[in-house]
């Protein structure tokens, strides 16, 4: 899952598959690579990034965001739809306010990612050597580390959308995670290309200008006119739909309906059967009788002492 390129995935397979059982290999191969590995999924499309996530994480994030609506959709579709519109309206207005009030060049998430990669590069235990070759519209850079090896970086010579410099690296991190890698930050730190900064090597979609393009300054989503009263006046009800299914409603007394299965007497008995409580028995050493019990005809011998004060005979059972 952490591989950045298809070459890295193939290298891992060639390395570990010979050490695995054939049944485990067959299990992994049941699902195509592009459906389970982010790096393989990126090979299907150009200019695509997974933003450090998998496909299932993106779906689960949207399901979690609409959880309030999803738990009501099985009971009342109308109210669930109105709730979804209201939630979308609130999210839109909240994000639009954040975008219009943001004063930095990058979004808050972009600033966080830029700082994280820059800190990772500074803490990277390796010495990088940078060699740059200029071409017609881009620079071909070679960043070589003593421990990590050689990486090829292609970066445009002129800024593109919103003043950002598009680039690619042979490590595959910019394409997979949608952020610059440590090798690009090492190129920036070397100042071989003085126009590069940690901010302008970030992808354009992390800029505040791109964030604001997604919203309309003069308007927004307003779900206030769409109410239950508005729908009641404008539309005729569908008699085939019910607000609450029968199996959700409270169970009524009396004989069940014909189309409902009646449980047998044995099933009802098993449901109503109560488990017998086990009697708690004290340890034998705690059942010794006290001196006051002797006057009542009990010997202070143990819990199997005879009631009438007589001694036990061999083979005779006592009482608890």
* Residue 228 in domain: no
Band of the pLDDT at 246, cuts 50, 70, 90?
Answer: low
Locus of tokens 């003069």? 218
Task: Give the predicted TM-score (pTM) of the model.
Answer: 0.62
* Residue 305 in domain: no
Band of the pLDDT at 279, cuts 50, 70, 90?
Answer: low
206 SS3 class: helix
Whether 65 and 130 map to the same domain: the answer is no
Residue 44 sits in which domain range? 6-83
144 Cβ contact partners less than 8 Å away, ≥ 6 residues apart: 128, 129, 130, 131, 150, 151
Among candidate residues 207, 229, 263, the one where a domain is terminated: 207
CB atoms under 10 Å from CB of 175, counted, come to 21
Could you read off the pLDDT of 141-181 as tens digits, one per residue? Answer: 999 988 888 999 999 999 988 999 999 898 888 888 889 99
Whether 140 and 76 map to the same domain: the answer is no
Please check whether residue 167 is in contact with residue 180, taking contact to mean a CB–CB distance below 8 angstroms. Answer: yes
Could you read off the pLDDT of 151-160 as tens digits, one per residue? Answer: 999 999 999 8
Whether 183 and 122 map to the same domain: the answer is yes
CA distance 251 to 248: 9
Total domains in the fold of the chain: 2
Whether 147 and 194 map to the same domain: the answer is yes
Over range 63-80, report the average pLDDT.
82
Whether 132 and 190 map to the same domain: the answer is yes
Band of the pLDDT at 288, cuts 50, 70, 90?
Answer: very low
Among candidate residues 140, 173, 207, the one where a domain is terminated: 207
2 Cβ contact partners less than 8 Å away, ≥ 6 residues apart: none
Higher pLDDT, 172 or 46: 172
Whether 79 and 128 map to the same domain: the answer is no
Maximal CA-CA distance, the chain: 117
* Residue 193 in domain: yes
* Residue 108 in domain: no
Q: Tokens for 189? A: 């730190």
Q: Tokens for 245? A: 């299914």
CA distance 171 to 218: 43
CA distance 121 to 145: 12
* Residue 283 in domain: no
Whether 126 and 185 map to the same domain: the answer is yes
Whether 122 and 202 map to the same domain: the answer is yes
Helix residue spans in the chain (DSSP H):
6-16, 22-28, 33-36, 38-42, 55-65, 67-70, 77-101, 108-122, 173-177, 182-190, 208-213, 228-234, 265-272
Please check whether residue 116 is in contact with residue 123, taking contact to mean a CB–CB distance below 8 angstroms. Answer: no
Q: What is the pLDDT of residue 54?
A: 65
Could you read off the pLDDT of 185-242 as tens digits, one per residue? Answer: 999 998 999 999 999 999 998 999 999 998 877 666 664 567 788 888 888 877 776 6
């Amino acid at each position: 899952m952490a591989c950045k390129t298809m070459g890295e995935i193939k290298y891992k397979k060639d390395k570990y598959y010979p050490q695995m059982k054939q049944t485990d290999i067959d299990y992994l191969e049941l699902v195509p690579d592009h459906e389970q590995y982010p790096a393989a999924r990126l090979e299907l499309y150009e200019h695509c990034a997974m933003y450090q996530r998998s496909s299932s994480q993106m779906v689960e994030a949207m399901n979690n965001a609409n959880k309030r609506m999803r738990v009501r959709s099985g009971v009342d579709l109308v109210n669930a739809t109105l709730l979804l519109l209201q939630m979308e309206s609130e999210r839109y207005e909240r994000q639009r306010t954040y975008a219009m009030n943001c004063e930095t060049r990058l979004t808050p998430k972009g600033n966080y990612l830029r700082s994280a990669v820059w800190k990772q590069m500074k803490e990277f235990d390796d010495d990088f050597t940078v060699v740059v070759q200029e071409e017609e519209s881009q620079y071909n850079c070679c960043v070589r580390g003593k421990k990590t090896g050689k990486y090829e970086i292609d970066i445009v010579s002129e800024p593109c959308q919103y003043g950002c410099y598009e680039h690619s690296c042979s490590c595959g991190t910019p394409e997979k995670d949608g952020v610059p890698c440590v090798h690009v930050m090492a190129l920036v730190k070397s100042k071989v290309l003085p126009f590069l900064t940690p901010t302008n090597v970030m992808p354009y979609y992390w800029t505040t200008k791109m964030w604001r393009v997604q919203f309309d300054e003069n308007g927004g989503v307003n779900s206030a006119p769409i109410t239950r009263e508005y729908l009641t006046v404008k539309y005729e009800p569908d008699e085939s739909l019910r607000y609450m299914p029968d199996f959700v409603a409270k169970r009524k007394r009396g004989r069940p309906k014909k189309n409902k299965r009646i449980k047998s007497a044995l099933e009802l008995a098993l449901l109503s059967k109560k488990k017998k409580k086990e009697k708690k028995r004290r340890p034998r050493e705690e059942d010794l009788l006290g001196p006051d019990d002797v006057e009542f005809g009990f010997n202070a011998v143990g819990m199997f002492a005879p009631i009438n004060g007589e001694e036990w005979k061999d083979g005779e059972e006592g009482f608890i």
